Amino acid sequence: MRHALISGWGKCVPPAILSNDDLATFMDTSDEWIASRTGIKERRICHCNFSDMAVVAARHALAAADMDPMELDLILLGSLTNDSLCPNTASLVADELGARNAAAIDINSACTGFLYGLHIGTNLIRTGAHNKVLVIGGEFISHYMNWAQRDVAVLFGDACGAAVLEPSEERTGLLAAKIGCEADAKYAIQITNLGSAYSRLDDDFRYIDWNFEGQEVFKRAVKSMAQACADVLEETGVSLDEVNLVVPHQANKRILDSLAKRVGIPAEKVFVNVHKYGNTSAGTIPVALTEAVEEGRVKSGDYILTASFGAGLTWGAGLIKWGDRVTPLKESDAELPPCNKTALEILEPQIKRYLARAESKV
C-alpha cells in the first residue's frame, strides 16, 4: 500500500511581536487576564501579505525534503485570510515558487485547514492520484481583527507552516484521520462582513465584527477533539502509551490541558507554543510540528497525535507515524522582507479605526 511520508516541514513567523502589555495600551485588558485565561504571552503581526508567509514556509519545507517545486503536482493551502479569492491564493504561491506542474487549491475550514489538507493530500497520494503534495496552513488573522473586541482580539496571531508529502512504501505519515463539522453550531464563531452574503450597501461594510461564543467553543473543542483522538487510535490500533507526542491546535493552554486530561495523556507529552504565537488558526499545527522537530521532540518513527477544531465548527484528529529522518536534507535562507515597524505601529491605522467606531456607538 502507498503511504504519504512527511518529508519536509517549515514555518514562517513574522518578526513583529505584539505582547499582552502592548494590547493593554489600547484596550481594557491585562497580561494577567490573558496569560491566566489562555496561556498566551505574545503573538506575531504580519507586515506583508499572507502569501509571502506561505511562500517562505513552503521554501523551508521544500528544502527540508530537497524537492524542486517543479516536482510538486498539488498545492493545498488551508487559510481563511487569503490574499485574494480570485485568483485563489494557492495559485499565487504556486507561481511564486515556480511550481508549474502543480494544481492549486485553497481550503477554507478555518483552524482545521492544515489538518483537512493533510488528510486530503495523504489520501490523494494513497490512491495514486497525486505524488508530491505541498500542504500549507496559516493565517493573516490580524488583518481581520476587530481591535475593539477584547474577548477575541487577544487570542489570535499571524503565522504559517507547511509540509511536503511524497509516496512511500513504508507505513508512515498520516496513518488515519477523522474529520467532521458541528454545523449546527456554525455561528459560535462567525466573522461578519466577509463574503457575498453580506450587503454591500451597509454603511459598516468595511468593518469586521466577530460573533464569538468562547465558552461554548471551548467545551465543544475539548469534546470533539478528544473523541476524534480516540477514534484514530482505535482505527490504527495504536495505544495511548505508544503515542510519543501530541501536537494539537494551539488555541488556549487551558484547552490543551483539558484535552490531555480527557484523552488520558500526560501533559509533558503535549507540545505547547501558544504562549509565543497565540492562536494562528490553520497555522498552529504546521508551525508546532516544525518546532517540535527543530527542538528534538520528534524521533525517528514516533507516533504523533494531532487534533484541531475551529469555525464551522470543524474538528478533526490524526495519527502520524514520523519517518526515519528528523533533520532537513537542505536549508533554505528564505525570509520575509525586513520589517521596520513595531507591531503596534503596523496595526495603528486599524486600531484607531475600530476604537473610533466603538466610541461613536456608545
Catalytic residues: 111, 249, 279
Rg of the chain on CA atoms, in Å: 19
Report if residue 214 touches ligand UT7, rule: CB under 6 A.
yes
Q: Minimum CB separation from ligand UT7 for residue 232, in Å?
A: 20
Contacts of 249 (CB under 8 A, 6+ apart): 111, 112, 115, 225, 279, 284, 285, 307, 308, 309, 310
Report if residue 307 touches ligand UT7, rule: CB under 6 A.
no
Q: Minimum CB separation from ligand UT7 for residue 198, in Å?
A: 21
The label of the residue with cell 508549474 reads 100
Q: Minimum CB separation from ligand UT7 for residue 272, in Å?
A: 14
Instruction: Please state, in angstroms and rounded to a whole number, the distance separating the CA atoms of residues 220 and 315.
Output: 9
User: Residue 148 class from Cβ within 10 Å (0-12 exposed, 13-18 middle, 19+ buried)?
Assistant: buried
Report if residue 279 touches ligand UT7, rule: CB under 6 A.
yes
Q: Tell which positions 148-187 bind ligand UT7, by CB under 6 A.
A: 150-151, 154-155
Report if residue 40 touches ligand UT7, rule: CB under 6 A.
no
Stretch that binds ligand UT7, among 32-40, 168-176, 199-207, 228-236 (CB under 6 A): 32-40
> Which one, 219 or 341, has the nearer CB to ligand UT7?
219
> Which one, 81 or 172, has the nearer CB to ligand UT7?
81
Cα distance from N-terminal residue to C-terminal residue, the chain: 63
Q: Minimum CB separation from ligand UT7 for residue 260, in Å?
A: 16
Report if residue 66 touches ligand UT7, rule: CB under 6 A.
no
- Residue numbers at the binding site for ligand UT7 (CB under 6 A): 29, 33-34, 37-38, 111, 150-151, 154-155, 189, 214-215, 217-218, 251-252, 279, 310
